[in-house]
Structure 1
Amino acid sequence: MPTYGDIRKWQPAPLEATVTGLNQRCDELVGLSDELTASGVPEGWTGEAADGARAERDRLQNSMELLVAAAAAVRRGVAEASDAVEALKHSVAETDSIAERNHFVIREDGSVVDNAPVTAHDPAHIDEYFRERQRVQQELADRVEQAVRRGTDIDSDLAGVLRAAEKGEINDGGATSLQDALNAGAGQGGLSTIGPPEDGSPYDNAGWWDSLSEAEQQAIIDEHPEWIGNLDGVPGEARDEANRARLETERAALEARRDELQADLDDNWFGGTFTSADAELDAVNAKLDSLDAIEETLARPGERQLLLLDMSDERAEAAIANGNIDTADHVAVFTPGLTSTVDGSMGGYDNSMAQLQFRTEEELARYGDGGSVATVTWIGYQAPQLSVGGVLFDSNSVLSDGSAQRGADSLAPFLNGIDASRDTDPNLTALGHSYGSTTTGLALQQNTGVDSAVFFGSPGLGTNDVDNINVPTGNAHYIEARNDAVGDLGYFGIDPSHMDGMNHVSAGETTLPDGRTLTESTGHSAYMDDSSTSQYNLSVVVGGMPDRVVTDDGKGFGDILSWPVPGTY
C-alpha cells in the first residue's frame, strides 16, 4: 500500500507519455487489418496446403486480436490512472497547503504534527484556540486518510489491468476484426470509481470528493446521485445537481406507494381502522406535498441550491440555500423549531432567508465592506408537532429534547461540511429560532467551526453556560421580543437572557444614525420580519459586523452613535 509520502511524489506525466506510446501502437496494430485480410488463402486454392495456410492465417488473426485487446485495455487503464493521479495530486497539494497555512506538518507516513510557534495566548480565548487547532488537525488527518485510500485504489486497479494483460487474461470478446478486438479490450481496462467513505466525517467526504477527477465526479452525479446529495463535505453545487436529479425518482416511488396504499384501503371493508395504512397514506401525501414545496421554492427567482433531500423518516427533510454556499463570503444556516415541516414551512422560511440575504448584502454594501451572502433554510430533522398525542406521547415531543439532540447530530456535520468543502472558509453563522435554537445550541456544543450564532425566541440552548456554545468568545447573540412567552421558559437550560457572556440584542423599534427607522418585533414569530430591528441585527451578525448590532439600550457594542453615516468618510 502506498504511503502519503509515496503519493506526494506521484506524477501523471510518465503515465501520459505511456498513453501516447500506446495510442501509436494501437493505431499501428489496427492498421494491419488490411494486411491480414490480404494474407488470406487465394480464391480457388484447395487441398492440404490451402487448409494449412488457412489455419495459420486464422491463428495469426486470433493472436493479433488478443494482442490488440490487451493493448487497448492497458491504454485505457493507464489513461484513467493518469487522470486519477492528476486529481489526487491536486487534492494532496490542497491538503499540504491547508497544513502549511495553519502551521501543521504532514509527515511521510501521513501523521499530522502541530508545528505552530509557541506564543502567549489570552487565557480568555485559550479554549477556542485549541479547539480550532484540533478541528484543523482532524481535517488534515481525514484528508490524508482519503488520499491514501484513493491512491491505494488507483494503484490496485491499474496493477490488476497490467497483471491481466501480462497473463493473457484480456479476451477479445469473440471479435472478428481488429477494431472489434480494440473495443472489447478497452471495455476491460477501466478503473473503478471508489465510493464515499463509510460513515465518513465531513472532512473524510471532502477529501474523497477532492481526490476524484472531474469526469469521475460527474459520473457519480449522473449515475449515483444518492451517494452525494446529502453528503456533508461535498460542495453545494454538486449536492444541488445530484438532489435535483433525485426529485423525479423520489416522486415516482412515493406515487407508487400512494397508489398501493389507496388500493389496499379501497379493497378493505374497514378502511384503515385495523391497520396503519391510512396514517401511512397521509404521510406519503405529505411527502408528495413536500416535493411540490421544494420544486416551487427552487423555481423562484435567484440562485438556489438543494443541499438536503431525505424522504426516509416520518416527514420529509430538506435544506435549500439562497445563493451559492461554495463561493459566498458569508453563509448563514437557519434552523426553525416547533411545527416546522418541509411541506408547510419551506416556502415561508425561504422568503425570510431571501430577505435576510438581500438585507445583509445591503448592509455590507452600505458600509463599504462588500461581499456576497448565502442563507440556508435547514429543515433537516423531525421538528416537534402540535397535537395532543404528539405533545404528550410522541418521541419527538416538544416537552423533550430528544428531537433536538437527534437534529443536532445532523446539523453539526452539515455546518462542518460547509467549511470542509471549500478551500477558504466563509464567515459562518448559525441561526436558531424557538425549538430550533435548542437544536442549534446542542449542535454548537460540538466542534463545528461556526464563527457566530444568533438565537431568538429560545426555550433554552441545552446548557446553562455560554462557554459550552463553541463559537469564538463574544460571538453568541440572543434576541428576545416583547410578549414572547417561549423566550422566558428556560425549559432546556436557563433563559438565555440570563446567561453571562451572552450578547443581548434588540427587537425593539430603533432609529439608526443614518435616519432609517426599524420596526419592533413582538411575540414569538416576527423576528425575521423585513425592516425590523431583529432582522437588521441578524443581518449585521451574518455579514460579520457584530459591532453594528443594536442592543436594548439603543446602542451597539461599538456605540452606534459613533458610526459614520454613509458618504461622510
Structure 2
Amino acid sequence: MSKHLTVSQVLDWRPDTLTAQATDWDRQANELRSRLEVQSRAVDDSHDTWKRTSGDAMRARFAQINEKALKTVGALEKGRDAANTASQNFTTAILLVRSTKMSAEGKGLRVMPEGTCEIKEETKQLIYSTVNGDAERYSTAISALQVDADSHTSYVKYALSLAADADNQAVTTINAAFADLPTVESFGNGSPTVKPEPKKPPENGTPEENRKYWDALTPEEKAQMISTQPAAIGSLDGIPVDARDQANRNLIQIEKDRIQTALDSGDPSKMVNPKTGQWESPDTLTKKLADLKAVEQAVKPEDGKPPRKLMLLDMQSGTQGRAAIAVGDPDTADHISVTTPGLGTNLRESLGSMVGEADTLKTESERQLRAAGSDDTVSTIAWIGYDPPQKTYSDLDIANVMLQGRAEEAAPSLAKFYEGLDTASTQNDPHITALGHSYGSVTQSLALQEGGHAVDDAVFYGSPGLGGHALTTTPPWVEGTPIGPLNDKVHSAEDLGLQDHHVYEMTEKGDPVANLNRFGQSPNALPWVTHLSTDEITVDGQTYTGASGHAEYPRTDNTTQHLHRSGYNLAAIVAGLPDNATNPQHR
C-alpha cells in the first residue's frame, strides 16, 4: 500500500532519455575542455608578450578561473557516467518487471499495480469447469494456484524493489555529480549578485508536494533553509529525515532562548505565544523549557545505541511541547512503527521512557526478523505530536480524556505524518505499523480514518474505543445487543484504510480502560479485530511474562528484564511476522 513505484510506472520508463542526457553532458564537457585548452595555450604564450606585474596578475587570475572551470568539466563527466549507468540499470529493471509480470499472467493471474498477484475470476471459472464442479478438487486446485500467486507476488515485488533501488541510486549519483559545482559568484566576474531567498515550502502541502519542493532546491538552498527556517523545515512531512533532524536540532536553542528571554523579562506582554497569539503563564513557559531539556537529552547519541532522529519539534502550536523521535533511520528501514500515547503523556515526563521503549521494540523486532532468517531493518518512532489530556485538576484538563476533541485535533497531523514516512522512504513499499495506547488509540484510529494508505498494520492496546458518533459509555445492559454497535464509527478494517486481518488489539488483565466502550465499542469487543493473547509464553527459550493493568504493555518486566508478552506481540506485528503473535508455537 505504497505511493511508490508501480508496475505500469516502471514499464513506462524511457532509459533512452537518460542516455540522451548523458550524451549532451559529454558534449558540453568536451566543448568546455577544448575551449579551456585553447585559452591555456594563449595564456602560456603571453609570458613573452605580457610581462611584469600586470601579466603575472592576469595569469594568476586565469589559473583560478581555469581550476573552477575544470571542476565544472569534472561534474559534467560524472553526470554523464551516472546517467549512463542509470540508463543501464533502468533497462535491466524494466526487463525484470516485465518478465515477472508475464510469468504471473501466464499462470492465469492478474498483476495489480503494486505487484500483488491475484487469481482472475475467469481462471477460477475455468478451473471449476475443468473439475466438473467437484468442490474438493476445486479447492485443491485453487489452493495450489494461490501458492503460485503468492510466489509470483514476491517475485514482482522484488523486481519493483530493485527498480526503486535503481531509481534512488540514479537520483543520488546524479545529484552527487553536481553537488560541488562552483557558484557563479566564486568566479568573481561582474558585479556582486544578491542571493535570492529560497522559495518557501508549500502552505499546508501534502507530503508529496513537500518532497517535490525539497527536491527542487539546490544543496546550497537546502542548507540555507535548514539554517534560517528550521521550524518550517523540521515539521515538513515527506522530506528526508536527516534534513528534519538537523533543522529541529537547530530549533532547540532558538526556542530555549525565546522562552528564557520571556521568563527573564517578567513582562506579560513578552509571554505571548508568537503562533497562537495567546498569553502563556510563567508556569507554562517553565514546563516548556523542561520539555526542551527532555528533547535534548533524548536525542543525545549513546554508545552502542542506534541513532535518534528528531522528526518533529513544536513549542508553539499547543499548550504543551510536541516532538517525535525516531530510533533508527525511517527513510531506509524496511519496517517502521509509530506509537501514539494517551492520558498524562508529555515531553518532560514521558519522552525519555517512550524513546527507551522504542529502542527496546526495535531490538526485539529485529531479533525476531533474524530468527526468521531476514536481515530487514526496523525504525521505531515515539510520536507526541499533540496535546494529550493531562492528569491535572487545577485546569480541569483531565476532563478532556472523556472527550474526542484532542484526538480529533491531532488526527490530521498524525495522518500526514504516516503519509510522510511513506513518501520519504527509499524503500519501494515500507511496512508501516501504527500503534496506539489508551486515548492515543482513539487519536490513531481517527488518523487512519483520514483516508491515507501508507499504514499496513494497526495495533490498538488498552483502547477505550475507535471513535463514536456520540460520546457515551455503553451501559452493561446494552453490550452484546444490536443497540451496542450503533455508536461505532468504525465497522471494518476498510474504514481504517487497512486490509482485513491487519487490525489487532490487546487487553491486559485488569485493564479497566480497555473495557470502557467510551468512544464506540472498545476493539476487544469487535469481531473483525484480531485479538492477541497477553498470557505468558516461552519462545526460543525466552519467557515473555503476562502483565496486568493499563500501563505495562510496552514495558520491560523488572524481574526478567525482558518484554512482557504484549511487547513481544508488538514487535512481531512491527516486524511483519504476525504469526509470531497469533500462533507463537508454530516456531
| Letter in structure 1 aligned against 2:316 | S
1:480 aligns with 2:507: yes
- For residue 228 of structure 1, report the CA deviation from its aligned partner: 3.0
TM-score (norm 2): 0.65
CA distance in 2, matches of 1:295, 1:440: 26
Q: Report what 1:45 is aligned to.
A: none
Q: Report what 2:282 is aligned to.
A: 281
1:290 aligns with 2:300: no
What SS does the corresponding residue of 1:184 show, helix, strand or coil?
Answer: coil
Q: Report what 2:546 is aligned to.
A: 520
- For residue 538 of structure 1, report the CA deviation from its aligned partner: 0.8
- For residue 341 of structure 1, report the CA deviation from its aligned partner: 1.3
Q: Report what 1:506 is aligned to.
A: 533
Q: Contact between 1:438 and 1:458, CA under 8 Å: does it hold in 2?
A: yes
TM-score (norm 1): 0.66
CA distance in 1, matches of 2:444, 2:457: 12
Go from structure 1 to structure 2 and tell me whether the alpha carbon gap of 1:15 and 1:368 turns closer, same or farther (over 3 Å shift): closer
- For residue 239 of structure 1, report the CA deviation from its aligned partner: 2.2
What SS does the corresponding residue of 2:528 show, helix, strand or coil?
Answer: coil
Q: Contact between 1:391 and 1:398, CA under 8 Å: does it hold in 2?
A: no
Q: Report what 2:21 is aligned to.
A: 11
CA distance in 1, matches of 2:80, 2:212: 14
CA distance in 1, matches of 2:81, 2:404: 47
Q: Report what 1:431 is aligned to.
A: 435
1:316 aligns with 2:321: yes
Give ranges in structure 2 of 5+ residues lacking alignment. 1-12, 53-64, 102-111, 125-152, 154-159, 172-182, 271-276, 468-488, 557-562
More deviation, 16-25/113-122: 113-122
More deviation, 31-40/411-420: 31-40
| Letter in structure 2 aligned against 1:535 | G
Q: Report what 2:407 is aligned to.
A: 404
Describe the superposition over 1:421-453 as per-residue Cα deviations: whole angstroms up to 9, x where unpaired. Answer: 224222211110011101111111222321111
1:356 aligns with 2:361: yes
Q: Report what 2:205 is aligned to.
A: 200
Higher Cα Rg, which structure = 1
Describe the superposition over 1:473-500 as per-residue Cα deviations: whole angstroms up to 9, x where unpaired. Answer: 1011101112212111111121111112
- For residue 512 of structure 1, report the CA deviation from its aligned partner: 2.6
Q: What percentage of aligned pairs have identical amino acids?
A: 30
CA distance in 2, matches of 1:292, 1:91: 46
Q: Contact between 1:73 and 1:188, CA under 8 Å: does it hold in 2?
A: no
- For residue 76 of structure 1, report the CA deviation from its aligned partner: 11
1:47-66 aligned within 5 A: none
Q: Contact between 1:87 and 1:213, CA under 8 Å: does it hold in 2?
A: no
What SS does the corresponding residue of 1:534 show, helix, strand or coil?
Answer: helix
What SS does the corresponding residue of 2:517 show, helix, strand or coil?
Answer: coil
| Letter in structure 1 aligned against 2:513 | V
What SS does the corresponding residue of 1:512 show, helix, strand or coil?
Answer: strand
Go from structure 1 to structure 2 and tell me whether the alpha carbon gap of 1:423 and 1:285 turns closer, same or farther (over 3 Å shift): same
The CA RMSD over aligned residues, in Å, is 5.2
CA distance in 1, matches of 2:360, 2:311: 19
Q: Contact between 1:332 and 1:428, CA under 8 Å: does it hold in 2?
A: yes
Q: Report what 1:326 is aligned to.
A: 331
CA distance in 1, matches of 2:355, 2:232: 26
CA distance in 1, matches of 2:385, 2:48: 69
Go from structure 1 to structure 2 and tell me whether the alpha carbon gap of 1:366 and 1:192 turns closer, same or farther (over 3 Å shift): same
What SS does the corresponding residue of 2:266 show, helix, strand or coil?
Answer: helix
Q: Report what 2:234 is aligned to.
A: 229
| Letter in structure 1 aligned against 2:571 | S
Go from structure 1 to structure 2 and tell me whether the alpha carbon gap of 1:118 and 1:341 turns closer, same or farther (over 3 Å shift): closer
Q: Report what 1:543 is aligned to.
A: 575
What SS does the corresponding residue of 1:520 show, helix, strand or coil?
Answer: coil
Go from structure 1 to structure 2 and tell me whether the alpha carbon gap of 1:367 and 1:344 turns closer, same or farther (over 3 Å shift): same
Q: Contact between 2:328 and 2:379, CA under 8 Å: does it hold in 1?
A: yes
Q: Report what 1:51 is aligned to.
A: none
Describe the superposition over 1:251-307 as per-residue Cα deviations: whole angstroms up to 9, x where unpaired. Answer: 244324433443235999xxxxxxx99843333322222221112111234121111
Q: Report what 1:337 is aligned to.
A: 342
- For residue 457 of structure 1, report the CA deviation from its aligned partner: 0.7
Q: Report what 1:418 is aligned to.
A: 421
- For residue 532 of structure 1, report the CA deviation from its aligned partner: 0.7
Q: Report what 2:120 is aligned to.
A: 120
Q: Contact between 1:12 and 1:83, CA under 8 Å: does it hold in 2?
A: no
CA distance in 2, matches of 1:375, 1:204: 25
Go from structure 1 to structure 2 and tell me whether the alpha carbon gap of 1:505 and 1:423 turns closer, same or farther (over 3 Å shift): closer
Q: Report what 1:383 is aligned to.
A: 388
Q: Report what 1:365 is aligned to.
A: 370
- For residue 18 of structure 1, report the CA deviation from its aligned partner: 2.8
CA distance in 2, matches of 1:221, 1:97: 35
CA distance in 2, matches of 1:199, 1:266: 31
More deviation, 320-329/252-261: 252-261
Go from structure 1 to structure 2 and tell me whether the alpha carbon gap of 1:493 and 1:10 turns closer, same or farther (over 3 Å shift): farther
CA distance in 2, matches of 1:199, 1:83: 37
Describe the superposition over 1:113-150 as per-residue Cα deviations: whole angstroms up to 9, x where unpaired. Answer: 9799996379xxxxxx9xxxxxx9xxx9xx9xxx9xxx
Go from structure 1 to structure 2 and tell me whether the alpha carbon gap of 1:513 and 1:20 turns closer, same or farther (over 3 Å shift): closer
CA distance in 1, matches of 2:191, 2:25: 17
1:485-496 aligned within 5 A: 485-496=512-523
Out of 344, 347, 352, the position equivalent to 1:347 is 352
Go from structure 1 to structure 2 and tell me whether the alpha carbon gap of 1:114 and 1:487 turns closer, same or farther (over 3 Å shift): closer
Give ranges in structure 1 of 5+ residues lacking alignment. 43-69, 105-112, 123-128, 130-135, 148-160, 162-169, 174-179, 269-275, 550-555, 565-569
Q: Report what 2:138 is aligned to.
A: none
What SS does the corresponding residue of 2:189 show, helix, strand or coil?
Answer: helix
- For residue 192 of structure 1, report the CA deviation from its aligned partner: 8.6
1:255 aligns with 2:260: no
Q: Contact between 1:507 and 1:534, CA under 8 Å: does it hold in 2?
A: yes
Q: Report what 1:264 is aligned to.
A: 266
Q: Report what 1:457 is aligned to.
A: 462
CA distance in 1, matches of 2:385, 2:282: 22
Q: Contact between 2:434 and 2:455, CA under 8 Å: does it hold in 1?
A: yes
Describe the superposition over 1:191-227 as per-residue Cα deviations: whole angstroms up to 9, x where unpaired. Answer: 9965544433222333444456666655654565445
Go from structure 1 to structure 2 and tell me whether the alpha carbon gap of 1:483 and 1:198 turns closer, same or farther (over 3 Å shift): same
